[in-house]
């Protein structure tokens, strides 16, 4: 599966300022809340690094077999679309769970992904 890079709508400086304004020592940023968000996202979407599960998910969504998906000229578009939906759903979950604005949610997501990646 090819790499996926979703473009963040904010500059690195904007994200750095947003991140600096967030007090991660607050109870609202508890590990339990991060786990809750993670579980909710996993319940709806496959993780993008699991190619077989991603392919099954996309095929099921489109009512086709995995073989038909893999042979489709739209394969890369469908994979990219799913990954974009995962990112946007994660951003929304972060906004809702941690009471963040969009910029703060992007800053948090990118901070987490850099720590994990």
Any domain includes 67? yes
Q: Is residue 73 part of a domain?
A: yes
In-domain check, residue 43: no
pLDDT of residue 117: 40
- Tell me if 66 is assigned to some domain: yes
pLDDT attached to residue 50: 84
In a domain, 93, yes or no: yes
Is residue 2 over pLDDT 70? no
Higher pLDDT, 6 or 109: 109
Residue with tokens 């009512």: 63
The pLDDT-based confidence of 47 (bands split at 50, 70, 90) is confident
Q: Is residue 103 part of a domain?
A: yes
74-105 pLDDT, tens digit each: 999 999 999 899 999 999 999 999 999 999 99
Its pTM stands at: 0.81
- In this model, does residue 13 exceed pLDDT 90? yes
Average pLDDT over all residues of the chain: 88
Structure token digits, residue 101: 């604005």
Instruction: Compute how many other C-beta atoms are within 10 angstroms of the C-beta atom of residue 10.
Output: 17
| 5 in any annotated domain | no
Q: From its phi and psi, is residue 12 left (phi > 0), alpha (psi between -120 and 50) or beta? A: alpha
Looking at the structure of the chain, the number of domains it has is 1
pLDDT in the model for residue 59: 97
Q: Is 63 helix (H, G, I), strand (E, B) or coil?
A: coil
Range of the domain at 109: 50-117
Question: Which ranges of the chain does DSSP label H, i.e. alpha helix?
Answer: 12-20, 31-44, 51-62, 66-70, 75-98, 102-116
Quick check: is 44 in a domain? no
Comparing C-alpha atoms, which of 90, 84, 105, 87 is closest to residue 15? 105
């Amino acid at each position: 599966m090819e790499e996926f890079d979703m473009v963040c709508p904010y500059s690195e400086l904007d994200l750095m300022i947003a991140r600096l304004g967030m007090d991660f020592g607050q109870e609202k940023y508890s590990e339990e809340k991060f786990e809750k968000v993670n579980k909710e996202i996993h319940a709806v979407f496959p993780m993008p690094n699991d190619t077989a599960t991603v392919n099954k998910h996309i095929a099921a969504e489109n009512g086709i077999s995995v073989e038909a998906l893999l042979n489709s000229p739209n394969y890369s578009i469908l994979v990219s679309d799913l990954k974009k939906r995962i990112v946007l759903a994660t951003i929304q979950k972060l906004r809702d769970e941690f009471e963040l604005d969009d910029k703060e949610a992007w800053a948090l997501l990118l901070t987490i992904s850099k720590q994990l990646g």
